[in-house]
Amino acid sequence: MDFSPGQEKEIQLITDYFFPLRNDVYQLLEKARREKIIITNSQASLLIHISSKKNPPPEFFQLNLTELLMVAEIRFSPKLKKDMMTGNFCSLYLENTQLKQELLSSFQERVVATEELEEKYNNLELEYHLKQKLQTSQEEKNENLELFVNLQSKGRELKQLKNAAKSKLENNTLLKNLLRNQEFLTTYRTENSDPKTLGLLENELQKLKKQL
């Protein structure tokens, strides 16, 4: 049976590359099922490395290998990775896509939870700083209010003292009595020397001074 050049190329592609790849993949899938890594092939995610000596032509990578091998995902690695199983044609690493997805979902949930906690922490920190600022502002207001009240009180006391002093200075009777007693005491000292009388006059003079 004769084939066209295009068909012969496809047959050679399948024979030389796809079948060897399929054999290695099926061996790995069977091993993974035995070890309970996967239950069905459709759960398998494959990472495949093909050495440069056996490197297929570009047309090979245009094949729908995921569908042909009935797996969930196929990726190719230019380098040999750790933990890859070495087959006759290629090296492979298998993951359970369902488990991978569950782990990814769990990781994403933890990331979201961490971000929520971080947001709550930032909000609490901001609230704390605002409270500290408001408390400081309130304390300053209280101190200023207390100072204002004290100033008003001192102002009233000073006004009362001024009024009292003004009243006493305007009281001519007290001033006249003081001057008269001062003059009388001075005259009496020069003309008399009775200590008892001098003492009484000096006491009277001191009382008048206190009244002023």
130-177 residue pLDDT tens: 777 777 777 777 777 787 777 777 777 777 777 766 665 555 565 556
**Number of structural domains in the chain:** 2
Q: What is the pLDDT of residue 46?
A: 92
Last residue of a domain, one of 76, 99, 122: 99
Q: What is the pLDDT of residue 212?
A: 53
> Same domain, yes or no, for 174 and 95?
no
Split at pLDDT 50, 70, 90, the class of 53 is confident
pLDDT, mean of residues 115-131: 77
In a domain, 38, yes or no: yes
76, 155: one domain: no
Tell me: do 207 and 152 sit in the same domain.
Answer: yes
In-domain check, residue 25: yes
Lowest mean pLDDT among 19-28, 146-155, 175-184: 175-184
17 & 90 share domain:
yes
Domain match, 91 and 11 both: yes
Q: What percentage of residues in the chain have a pLDDT greater than 70? A: 69
Say what the pTM is.
0.45
Reply yes or no on whether the pLDDT at 195 is more than 50.
Answer: yes
Place 110 in a pLDDT band, splitting at 50, 70 and 90. confident
Q: Which residues pair with 91 in a beta bridge?
A: 49, 86
The answer to whether position 162 is within a domain reads yes
Number of neighbouring beta carbons within 10 Å of residue 100: 14
Which of 24-28, 142-146, 200-204 is the most confident on average? 24-28
| Same domain assignment for residues 10 and 93 | yes
Strand order in the sheet with 44-49: 73-76, 44-49, 91-96, 85-86
Do 93 and 167 belong together in one domain?
no
77 and 150 together in one domain: no
Q: Does residue 112 lie in a domain region?
A: no
CATH of the domain at 36: 3.30.2320.20
Report if residue 65 sits inside a domain: yes
Instruction: Find the mean pLDDT for residues 95-124.
Output: 73
Please give the pLDDT value at position 71.
Answer: 92
Residue 154 is part of which domain span?
A: 137-211
Higher pLDDT, 161 or 66: 66
Percent of the chain with pLDDT over 90: 21
- Report, as an integer, the average pLDDT of 46-58: 86
User: Residue 120: is its pLDDT beyond 60?
Assistant: yes
Residue 159 lies in a domain: yes
What is the reported pLDDT for 155?
74
Taking residues 88-115, what's their average pLDDT?
76
| Secondary structure string (H, E, C) spanning the chain | CCCCHHHHHHHHHHHHHHHHHHHHHHHHHHHHHHCCCCCCHHHEEEEEECCHHHCCCHHHHHCCHHHHHCCCEEEECCCCCCCCEECCCCEEEEEEHHHHHHHHHHHHHHHHHHHHHHHHHHHHHHHHHHHHHHHHHHHHHHHHHHHHHHHHHHHHHHHHHHHHHHHHHHCHHHHHHHHHHHHHHHHHHHHCCCHHHHHHHHHHHHHHHHHC
Q: 94 and 149: one domain?
A: no
152 shares a domain with 76: no
Is there a domain that residue 157 lies in? yes
For residues 90 and 14, membership in a common domain is answered with yes
Q: Considering the domain boundaries, does residue 128 fall inside one?
A: no
- Are residues 67 and 19 both part of a single domain? yes
End of a domain among 79, 99, 119? 99
